[in-house]
Every structure is written in structure tokens, then in C-alpha cells.
Amino acid sequence: MYNLLKYLFLWMLTVGMYGMAAGQAIPDSVMRRYASAKTDKDKLYQLTDYLDNLNGDTFFVQKSAVLVSFLKSVNDDRNRDFIQLIINDQLAKRGNYVTSLASTLEITNRAEQQKDTTKILAAYRKLGNAYYYAGDKVNEHVYNIKAMLIAKEINDVVSLSGIANNISASYAEQKSPDSALMYGRMGLDYARRSGDIRSLSMITGTIAEVFIADNQYDSALIYARESLGYGDAKNVLGNVWTLNAISQVFLKTNYCDSANYYAHKAIEIAAELGFKDQLQSAYETL
């Protein structure tokens, strides 16, 4: 009870300093779950679950900044780094990859010095993403492979699925369908082994992109619809990618009305959340 009261008191101070001024505050329920968590891992789970629910929130950056400030106030430096990595990932996806890279590289260096394997894995994955959005294919691939090696060592099948997904998507964009499909199938195998809905939603959407790159539109549509069928509301960016993929299938097969319909659905989400590359992709379809 003492620890719970201590964290709630610190939370009130944090909100007063950071939250109220911006009109954003950490929900009481999140604070209670964080304070009552028995381990650092459990605390991080509660925080990442909260951030997952913010993925579709236009005030994601502001609300997550309040969370970082709170973690700083209670000297939870390790979890603060993990949360900052998630924020950096969102910044990269919204086009601010310079800030994302600078912060992620700083956390990566710290994790390597601390020899914190879990944090190093998370940092390498986010660096791969940041370099992808920055258009640096070489470093993107380097850090994805580094992350994959660590994930294999600790048998983290969810991470392995996500990493294979990213490598597959990159190869698809580079018009290398054989390599893209190899990593896509690898990612799907890991996702099925994990049973994780988000992983399944993401990798099936990416495989759809791979089949589009290889002009196999019937197969692409099957996987795209499977991706959306998982109904993962937290996979906001992945859903936008898949909507754009379906739009591309219909465009390539001369069903222009359907292509425009799915492009507009992608635009609606991408514009609201600032996903610039997917917004551009959808407009190019129209």
C-alpha cells in the first residue's frame, strides 16, 4: 500500500508539471496497474499496453511524453528507455526520423554499454525501422539482421516474426520477390508459432505486398483480406498498409471504383495520424 501511495503521489506531481498544462494526463487505472506491478517486466507490460491503445490517438506524442516524464520522476530509467523507443518508432512513421534516429542511437549505445540483451534487441529493431523511413536501406538491413540474431539466441518468436516481416517488406519494395517471399513465409511461421494476433495481421499484410510486387494479384488479395480479418485495432499502421495494398490490387486489375474506395479509407486514417508515406501512397492511387 505504501508503494502504491508513493507512486500515486508522484503521479499527481508529474501531472501537475507536465500533464495538465498540455491537457494530457496518465489515466488513474494505468498508474494503479504500474504501482501494483511486482517486477520491472510487469511494469513495462502495463505501460506498453497503454501505449498500444494510444496508437490510433492523434495526441499520441503528447500523451506519451507525459508518461516519459513520469518515469523520469520515479527514476525508472530502464522502462523509460523502452517507452522512448516506442515513441521514437512512432516519430519515424510520422516522418520525423531525424529525431527518432538521434534518440534511438543514444538508447542503443546505453543498452550496449549495459549489456542489456532485451533492450539491445528492442533498440536494434527500432533502428531498423527508423533507417527504413529515412530511406537508408543499408543500415536498415544491418540492424534488422543484428536484431534477428539476438532474437534467435533468446528464442523470441514474436520479435522474429516482426523482424522477418520488416525484411520481407523491404525486399518487396526493392522488387526482389523471391527474397521477400522467403522472409515473409519465415515471419508467418514464427507468427503462427507465437499465436500473436498482431504478428499474424502484420505478416499476412506484408505477404500481400510481396505478391503485388510479383504481380500475383489473386494471392495478394487473399492475404490482404486475411490480414484485415484478424481485426487488430492496435495494428493501425499495418491496417493502413493493407488498405493501400488492396487498393493497388484493384487498380492493377482495372477495378478503379474499388481501388478508389480502399485508397480513401487509407487516406482517412493516414491523414488523421500523420502517416506520411502511406498517405502519399494512397493519393498516388487516385
First and final CA of the chain: distance in angstroms? Answer: 58
Q: Which three cell numbers stand for residue 189?
A: 511461421
- State the pLDDT at residue 286: 85
Alpha helices in 55-156 (DSSP H): 60-73, 77-93, 97-114, 117-134, 137-153
Nearest to 205 by CA among 257, 151, 166: 166
Q: How far is the CA of 95 from the CAs of 88, 89, 239, 275, 277, in angstroms?
A: 11, 10, 18, 7, 8
Q: In angstroms, rounded to a whole number, what is the distance separating the alpha carbons of residues 19 and 40?
A: 24
Nearest to 209 by CA among 175, 233, 260, 255: 175
Q: In angstroms, rounded to a whole number, what is the distance separating the alpha carbons of residues 166 and 134?
A: 14
Virtual torsion, Cα 235, 111, 63, 144, nearest 10 deg: -20
SS3 126: helix
Polymer length in residues for the chain: 286
- State the pLDDT at residue 276: 83
- State the pLDDT at residue 24: 63
Radius of gyration of the chain (CA): 20
Mean pLDDT by 10 residues, the chain (286 residues): 44 42 72 92 91 79 89 94 94 90 97 97 97 94 98 97 96 92 98 94 94 94 93 77 92 94 92 84 88
The pTM of this model reads: 0.83
Q: How many CA atoms lie within 13 A of 247 on its CB side?
A: 22
User: Is the Cβ–Cβ distance between 67 and 47 less than 8 Å?
Assistant: yes
H/E element holding 90? helix 77-93
